[in-house]
Amino acid sequence: MNFLPWVSLFFSTLLASAVATTPSQTTARRDSSTFVSTSGSDFVVNGSAFKYIGTNAYWLPTLNTNEDIWNSLANISALGIKVVRLWAFNDVDTIPVNGTWFQLVRNSTVSVNTGSNGLQKLDTVIQMAEQQGLYVILSLTNNWYPLPLLNSTVPPINSTAFDVTPGTNNTLPRNYLSNNYGGMDLYVRQFGLETHDQFYTNESILTSFMNYTTQVVSRYVNSPSIFSYELANDARCNSTLPASASCTTETITTWHATVASHIRSIDPNHLISSGVGGYMCTNCPKLYPLTPAPAPVTSPLPGKKKRTVAPVTKEQILRERSERRRRNREAAKRAGTLVEDGVRVRGRWVSTATKRQTTPSLGSMYDGSYGVDSQDISNIPDIGFSSFQLFPDQQSYGTDDPNLTPSQNVEQDGTQWITYQAQSATAVGKPAVLTGFGLVTQSNAPSFVPFNSTVAPFASDNSSSNATYGVTNQQQADTYTTWLNTGIAAGLNGIVQYQWGQSNLTAAPGTTVSPPTTTGEQSTPSSPGQSSTPSTTTGESPNDGYSTTGSSTVQQVLGSAAQAIAAD
């Protein structure tokens, strides 16, 4: 079988069309009905309601060959997944020797790379996604860009390489971690400023960021495969750089409204979303109040009832929290396992034990501590849908119930979070998407890097010691199943798992998929039938703690959910 020449011809054709043309080349067979729109709480495609399971693959534009991009998207699509969320930004302060980069941000000036290792890589991903019937959520910047540890003795250790755990020689290439693509703190530093929230308020940065969004968005105005432009991943007042005292929820809401309106002025066709973590502020003043409060939610699609849903309130959260505790206490009493008082210290897989609250308080997820009021952001007219995330390894989503095990607490808090988010979206009358969720397993724990870190906290020099952090594979699959079922039942319109894992990717020095630095255990010998092809080294896609590589169970769970949500 001489398969390869056909493949290369096929891919050079794809490449030529992806690279050489503006998206208008294929507009002939498109019309506005192929763009995703919304009607009340539904997404609408081709006149029908559209619900989906998605996955995250921030690294797709950094892959070394078009075949790798194609194969990754094909594997994703084969599961029934319909939407891929990825980074449409890749900011550097020094132009790298090898690898993809999109924008140089240095000394208060910016310049965009539209070359073949720049935005043309994004063009290729989007073109191939279209050919495979996938939509993409394009995230335009990141809250998180921590600096690497600079005291390592391991060379190279500069902006192109990271020592994951000091002293272990465990280096990661640029763009391997999701928080290593530039973003807000890179702008702040390179514009000579000091606080994270100056990204949202400084006029020069705002101009530069809008300039970047113009250049990205104007490339895809006619592309049917853009699901949405996501303004930022996880925008907050704080990051690695601190927040100024003046940063409030209004700062972040105003920024979303400004940038969304700018994008809308360039692109009338596509949805715009926020990408926030979903933090609420039940008692904050609103820039976009519900009018009338609460808004009646109507859907013209058949079979849907008119509903009126109130926003999530402090009283509701406190009441439901104490009802859950009472139920759990009664169940424990019946089982003879009651923990009368005191606090069950969570396992090592959750970093801090929370004290039992004596005065009822909502906790940071609901009181605006992060500078995010997701309801107010969702209600901005140019924001098409409500979005949120769920990462219990990075964030506590509730107060621990001593009558539940750590994994039960995580599952219950996540379920409650999903339910509140669905309610909040319905109250503003828009669809809701969980844009990222994940649990770190014991096998992934050595790779787990929290978003405000470049260091994996659970990597061990001594790999013979057994994992003491993370859920088991079975707990992960069970909890994912619970959350997916909860989300589908609660009416979420999209649920996007974090993160896709892809193997058999072409490795190249100085790129995200680099050849192994240790004795080449990952190298693939060339097979006998392909002796004319030079032997290539292959690698796996980045894993910052959540990759599905090697977990067919999670893939099955996602595949089943894709069928269930499509039938919903």
Binding site for ligand NAG (CB under 6 A): 34, 45-46, 50, 67, 71, 74-75, 94, 97-98, 107, 110-112, 133, 146, 149, 151, 154-156, 158-160, 166-169, 207-208, 211, 237-238, 240, 243, 247, 369-371, 452, 466, 504, 508-510
Rounded Cα distance, 520 and 434, in Å: 39
Closer CB to ligand NAG, 371 or 429, in the complex: 371
Shortest distance, position 62 Cβ to ligand NAG, whole Å: 14
Closer CB to ligand NAG, 133 or 520, in the complex: 133
Shortest distance, position 47 Cβ to ligand NAG, whole Å: 9
Cβ partners under 8 Å of residue 473, min gap 6: 441, 442, 443, 551, 553
Shortest distance, position 278 Cβ to ligand NAG, whole Å: 15
Structure tokens at 453: 């870190």
Tally of CB atoms within 10 A around 418: 28
Closer CB to ligand NAG, 80 or 166, in the complex: 166
Which position has the token pair 């090697």? Answer: 550
Shortest distance, position 338 Cβ to ligand NAG, whole Å: 32
Beta bridge partners of 437: 390, 497
Closer CB to ligand NAG, 133 or 516, in the complex: 133
Going by C-alpha positions, the residue among 137, 138, 120, 139 that lies closest to residue 14 is 120
Closer CB to ligand NAG, 11 or 388, in the complex: 11
Shortest distance, position 323 Cβ to ligand NAG, whole Å: 29
Rounded Cα distance, 355 and 352, in Å: 9
Closer CB to ligand NAG, 155 or 296, in the complex: 155
Going by C-alpha positions, the residue among 122, 134, 121, 343 that lies closest to residue 224 is 134
Closer CB to ligand NAG, 250 or 320, in the complex: 250
Closer CB to ligand NAG, 98 or 560, in the complex: 98
Rounded Cα distance, 119 and 225, in Å: 16
Cβ partners under 8 Å of residue 115, min gap 6: none
Distance set, CA 23 to CA 5, 20, 27, 221, 300 (Å): 27, 10, 7, 8, 32
Structure tokens at 345: 């210290």
Shortest distance, position 405 Cβ to ligand NAG, whole Å: 20
Distance set, CA 182 to CA 58, 160, 176, 460, 513 (Å): 13, 12, 12, 27, 18
Closer CB to ligand NAG, 173 or 402, in the complex: 173
Whether the Cβ atoms of residue 364 and residue 228 lie closer than 8 Å to each other: no
In our burial notation (b when 16+ CB lie closer than 10 A, e otherwise), range 485-495 reads: bbbbebbbbbb
Closer CB to ligand NAG, 211 or 408, in the complex: 211
Shortest distance, position 247 Cβ to ligand NAG, whole Å: 5
Closer CB to ligand NAG, 17 or 37, in the complex: 37
Closer CB to ligand NAG, 80 or 510, in the complex: 510
Q: In what order do the strands lie in the sheet with 103-106?
A: 91-92, 103-106, 109-112
Give the residue nearest to ligand NAG (CB). 510
Structure tokens at 45: 């495609």
Shortest distance, position 112 Cβ to ligand NAG, whole Å: 4
Distance set, CA 200 to CA 5, 255, 285 (Å): 50, 6, 19
Measured at the CA of 107, the angle between CA 59 and CA 512, to 5 degrees, comes to 15
Shortest distance, position 316 Cβ to ligand NAG, whole Å: 24
Shortest distance, position 45 Cβ to ligand NAG, whole Å: 4
Shortest distance, position 391 Cβ to ligand NAG, whole Å: 14
Tally of CB atoms within 10 A around 335: 9
In our burial notation (b when 16+ CB lie closer than 10 A, e otherwise), range 451-464 reads: bebbbbebbeeeee
Cβ partners under 8 Å of residue 243, min gap 6: 195, 196, 197, 236, 237, 371
Shortest distance, position 125 Cβ to ligand NAG, whole Å: 16
Whether the Cβ atoms of residue 187 and residue 89 lie closer than 8 Å to each other: no
